[in-house]
């Protein structure tokens, strides 16, 4: 089969590799669509994990084969697969901090080499513990591309659940890439007022359609002053940081009121330093917190939201590319143009 193999910093080559073999309790999925995620890009551009690996964790496809003892699925089922499953028994799982579970971090899907998601390949092997608890059927009428959005939506739903925006609150969401836009959609459901920022005009237009009351270009006006003007001089009750550029956390604090909460969602690099006034946190009584990855507990709700059509998630898909063009997909995601948002790889397409 064909797969996009990570071979070292910034190098991904489309190669012929063996189709994975499955064991008892496992399934083989023929990958029809897999989204490109910023965490894939970081691993590839900053060489975070040893090569060779096959990345891609927003995977949807068709069950091609089932191992002995698999009863929930049969060949031909259309499915979306979660790639992590917590052990449910360790210190962190007992506290529902699933993303910190050591087992959770061991990826249960592989297209070969060290398990790493494998969605950027024509077939993936899904290990038994994922088959049991992490695979969802895709309803008729829902495209594979739409189904790939279950995983990223889950990560945002987990964060929004944690932030708990309330109807009377004013929420600022900095960055309106695919993740920022999902935050806008999910926050809109809570009834809170929303102001978003992005330098790309097309993204601001989509944000307005997704529920943002204000969509501003942070280069064109003083965002903190605009928010204060609309909140009795106070600032936002909640700020969600959904982009990582220098100075953005300082900007988030400037936009926020004393006693507010500030979520860091895009600060995934261990080398990125953030600068802020200590007094803004201590004297200003702000809560600065992080949230990362998806929650198995929210998987069925996420699937429901993506499949059910309540959220306009298909607006987020801008490009569909065959595997051979994956490098241009990475470049588009790294340097988004006015029209690029979520980029989906379709490994069964020849061109
Ligand atoms: Zn992702
Ligand atoms: Zn655990």
Question: Domain for residue 301, yes or no?
Answer: no
Structure tokens at 62: 């068709």
Q: Which ligand is nearest to the CA of 117?
A: 1
Beta-bridge partners for 214: 195
Same domain, 129 and 188: no
Same domain, 139 and 74: yes
Strand, helix or coil for residue 193: strand
Structure tokens at 208: 């307005």
Question: Domain for residue 259, yes or no?
Answer: yes
Distance of CA 130 from the midpoint of ligand 2 (Å): 14
Distance of CA 57 from the midpoint of ligand 1 (Å): 6
Same domain, 125 and 165: no
Q: What's the pTM?
A: 0.95
Select the more confidently predicted residue: 49 or 33: 33
Same domain, 180 and 244: yes
Question: Domain for residue 305, yes or no?
Answer: no
Tell me what pLDDT residue 82 has. Answer: 87
339 confidence band (pLDDT: 50, 70, 90): very high
Over range 317-332, report the average pLDDT: 96
Same domain, 251 and 316: no
Same domain, 93 and 49: yes
Distance of CA 293 from the midpoint of ligand 2 (Å): 14
Question: Domain for residue 307, yes or no?
Answer: no
Question: Domain for residue 351, yes or no?
Answer: no
* 225-284 pLDDT per residue, tens: 999 999 999 999 999 999 999 999 999 999 999 999 999 999 988 888 888 999 999 999
Distance of CA 58 from the midpoint of ligand 1 (Å): 6
Distance of CA 83 from the midpoint of ligand 2 (Å): 15
* 53-112 pLDDT per residue, tens: 999 999 999 999 999 999 999 999 999 998 888 998 999 999 999 999 998 888 889 999
Distance of CA 38 from the midpoint of ligand 1 (Å): 7
- Residue 54 CA to residue 266 CA, distance in Å, equals 23
Residue ranges in the chain assigned as alpha helix (H): 38-45, 91-94, 128-133, 144-147, 150-163, 178-190, 201-209, 223-229, 248-255, 278-282, 299-308, 326-334
Tell me what pLDDT residue 70 has. Answer: 97
Distance of CA 332 from the midpoint of ligand 1 (Å): 16
Same domain, 235 and 327: no
Tell me what pLDDT residue 142 has. Answer: 97
Distance of CA 185 from the midpoint of ligand 1 (Å): 18
Same domain, 104 and 184: no
Q: Which ligand is nearest to the CA of 155?
A: 1
Structure tokens at 285: 């009584």
Q: Which ligand is nearest to the CA of 89?
A: 2
8 A C-beta contact, residue 150 and residue 65? no
Question: Domain for residue 139, yes or no?
Answer: yes
Of 146, 194, 139, nearest to 170 by C-alpha is 194
Which residues have C-beta under 5 Å from ligand 2, the single-atom ion?
86-87, 90, 93, 101
Same domain, 144 and 16: yes
Strand, helix or coil for residue 251: helix
Q: Is the pLDDT of residue 18 over 90?
A: yes
Same domain, 235 and 116: no
Question: Domain for residue 298, yes or no?
Answer: no
Question: Cβ-count burial of 39 within 10 angstroms (0-12 exposed, 13-18 middle, 19+ buried)?
Answer: middle
CATH of the domain at 59: 3.90.180.10
Same domain, 183 and 276: yes
Distance of CA 248 from the midpoint of ligand 2 (Å): 33
350 confidence band (pLDDT: 50, 70, 90): confident
> Could you tell me the residue range of the domain that residue 316 belongs to?
2-148+312-346
Torsion of CA 160, 187, 61, 129, to 10 degrees: 20
Structure tokens at 88: 């449910």
**Secondary structure string (H, E, C) spanning 32-76:** EEEECCHHHHHHHHCCCCCCCECCCCEEEEEEEEECCCCCCCCCC
Beta-bridge partners for 346: 322
296 confidence band (pLDDT: 50, 70, 90): confident
Distance of CA 335 from the midpoint of ligand 1 (Å): 17
Q: Which ligand is nearest to the CA of 129?
A: 2
Of 63, 80, 62, 82, nearest to 71 by C-alpha is 63
Distance of CA 145 from the midpoint of ligand 2 (Å): 30
Torsion of CA 280, 200, 292, 50, to 10 degrees: -120
122 confidence band (pLDDT: 50, 70, 90): very high
CATH of the domain at 229: 3.40.50.720
Domain count, the chain: 2
Tell me what pLDDT residue 133 has. Answer: 86
Question: Domain for residue 300, yes or no?
Answer: no
Same domain, 213 and 324: no
Q: Which ligand is nearest to the CA of 156?
A: 1
Distance of CA 159 from the midpoint of ligand 2 (Å): 19
Task: Report the 10 Å Cβ neighbour count for 88.
Answer: 14
Tell me what pLDDT residue 269 has. Answer: 84
């Amino acid at each position: 089969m064909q797969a996009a193999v990570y071979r070292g910093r910034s190098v991904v080559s489309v190669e012929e590799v063996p189709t994975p073999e499955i064991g008892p309790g496992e399934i083989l999925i023929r990958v029809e669509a897999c989204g490109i995620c910023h965490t894939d890009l970081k691993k590839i551009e900053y060489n975070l994990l040893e090569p060779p690996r096959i990345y891609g964790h927003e995977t949807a496809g068709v069950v091609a084969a089932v191992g002995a003892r698999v009863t929930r699925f049969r060949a031909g089922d259309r499915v979306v697969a979660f790639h992590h499953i917590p052990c449910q028994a360790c210190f962190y799982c007992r506290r529902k901090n699933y993303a910190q579970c050591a087992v959770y971090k061991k990826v249960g899907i592989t297209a070969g080499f060290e398990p790493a998601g494998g969605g950027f390949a024509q077939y993936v092997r899904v290990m038994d513990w994922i088959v049991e608890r992490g695979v969802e059927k895709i309803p008729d009428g829902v495209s594979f591309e739409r189904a790939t959005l279950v995983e990223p939506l889950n990560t945002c739903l987990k964060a929004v659940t944690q932030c708990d925006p309330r109807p009377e609150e004013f929420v600022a969401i900095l960055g309106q890439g695919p993740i920022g836009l999902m935050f806008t959609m999910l926050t809109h459901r809570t009834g809170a007022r929303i102001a978003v920022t992005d330098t790309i005009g097309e993204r601001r237009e989509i944000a307005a359609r997704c529920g943002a009351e204000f969509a501003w270009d942070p280069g064109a006006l003083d965002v903190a002053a605009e928010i204060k003007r609309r909140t009795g001089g106070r600032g936002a009750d909640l700020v969600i940081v959904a982009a990582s550029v220098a100075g953005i956390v300082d900007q988030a604090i400037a936009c926020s009121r004393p006693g507010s909460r500030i979520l860091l969602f895009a600060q995934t690099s261990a080398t990125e330093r953030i600068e802020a006034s200590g007094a803004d946190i201590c004297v200003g009584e702000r809560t600065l917190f992080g949230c990362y990855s998806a929650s198995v507990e929210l998987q069925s709700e996420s699937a429901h939201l993506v499949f059910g059509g309540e959220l306009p998630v298909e607006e987020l898909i801008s490009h569909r590319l065959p595997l051979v063009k994956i490098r241009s997909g990475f470049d588009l995601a790294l340097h988004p143009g006015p029209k690029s948002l979520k980029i989906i790889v379709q490994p069964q397409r020849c061109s």
